[in-house]
Amino acid sequence: MSKVACIGECMVELKQAEHGLYSRGYGGDTLNTAVYLARLAVGVDYITALGDDALSDEMIAGWAAEGVGTGRVMRLAGKLPGLYMIQTDDKGERRFFHWRDSAAARSLMDLPETPDILESLAGYDVIYLSAITLSLYGPAGRTRLFAALKRAREAGVRFAFDTNFRARGWPDLDVARTVFQEAFTAADIVLASTEDLLPLYPGLSNESLLARIPGAEVVLKLSEPASIVRLEGVPYPIKAKPVEAPVVDTTAAGDSFAAAYVAARLAGADPIEAARAGHRLAGVVVCHPGAIIPRAEMPSGLVPNHANSR
């Protein structure tokens, strides 16, 4: 079985319920991707840091129940996970509010165990992380992580970078652009979107945004239900099938797209086929509230039945 390492942060999630109430769960972009990967029969470990509190215990148990590996989750005494709140409008668009400045995950690149964690990355088939992941660490931490990604790639591991951008995590946009460019250069697969990139590169066309990304395998998700897959410099427009049910919550649309894309690529699908799988899963996810849909609602036959080709 192929194995993916997802690196990032999971937080306590508060989402709107009725009469001004909120329900409690947990979520985070790379954790959402890890759960969907596990549901698509991909072996996946989640790499992060949590506290030693009851909420962190609950997260660990929930991830394990989903089939996500937790052996590389660091537990830090006296620390807590971050917290975020989701508000959605009548079109399902979401707004996030975060309380995470002292969250345990921010220490991941500065622990006594960090060298062992980073060396372990060479044992995976794919390493997946997002721009939110990179925003958690300071310059020294990012330098350690990029050096480990380079060593892993030299060992044959593929690095998939998702451009998931949250302005709150990047108070200096020039720093963000520099880090994004380093990630673009390092990545084997870039999963980008105009929603993420236009705040960094305002006014650029789709073609100009793609031109900023040097990789051979790039997906640019558009504002409409479509994407452009660029392979070896050649763009291929992809139209998503219309979403039949009402859109109620766009949370995790990009995270689920990434999971289906990576799972399909690991199963031997070409990037165009993988992008179609991504659009299909995302089109189901946005019709349900919250980041993780009920297991019974997962679409069947999502990942093409190819021989696994790493």
For the annotated catalytic residues, the residue numbers are 255
| Residue 78 structure tokens | 């006296």
SS3 track for 146-205? HHHHHHHHHCCCEEEEECCCCHHHCCCHHHHHHHHHHHHHHCCEEEEEHHHHCCCCCCCC
C-alpha dihedral sign at 135, 136, 141, 146: negative
